[in-house]
Amino acid sequence: MDNLPFFFASSVAQKSLDLLFAQDTDQWRKVAYDYVRPYVAILIGAKKDNVSALVIPTKIHSLESFKATINPLTKVSKILLHDRITGQDADARECIRGSDQMYALVQLLNRLQIEGLDLSYCLLRPEHISRCIEMCRVPARIICISSLSATDELLNYRMLKNPNLKEVHVYKAYYNFVWKLTESWKNGLKQESLNADFKKGKHSDNLCELGFELVETWDHKYFNGQICGFSGKTIRFVAFKFM
């Protein structure tokens, strides 16, 4: 308590002076989560062996500046995996490059709150994910995948070994792919040949047979399901129709 940073105490005071006298550690933690957690996003490029990372906001231009910015309550809003980093992003500032720096980045991320891991980029291929498999194993609460790029190795780890997992979002959601995915979760079994023949079989409109509910809004149409796994834990699956 003696080492609380000024901006933390200041933001608490602006909310409620009563909180300054709180002795309950959990209450302080809740206040900290609400007021003193910078948000960052990380863009990963997986071109050949040259895996690199960009951290947003733009003031973070190296691994050292990233380490200086974060604190134990920093929340990573999203980690996005692309096949490569190009254009303005690549030219704007120095990337985090090389196996040593990427390993150090993974170690830092494993100690932070990761909201989402997005692997749904349309041009991703399984080999891109394989190059970044350690990065893809950070304990995210939400994972976004595509029927076209997800790998058995990744999903076996993500779904069966990640205690933080709450939601799985599937883009380009073919019926067979979602069926294999949910069966693996329900039965606690590893994925096998998840991508094999995933385009064959029933249309995605039949996902209601698997316990999903069709949800339609003014700008989205998707299937939503709360599915209980072998361990008794329930996670949310969201399947966006293949158009």
On average, the pLDDT of the chain sits at 75
Mean pLDDT for the stretch of residues 172-194: 80
Say whether pLDDT at 35 is over 60: no
How far apart (Å, rounded) are the C-alpha atoms in residues 104 and 55? 14
Say whether pLDDT at 57 is over 90: no
Model-level pTM? 0.76
Say whether pLDDT at 167 is over 90: yes
Express each pLDDT in 194-235 by its tens digit.
655 656 667 777 888 888 999 988 777 899 999 998 889 999
| pLDDT value of residue 29 | 60
How far apart (Å, rounded) are the C-alpha atoms in residues 62 and 53? 9
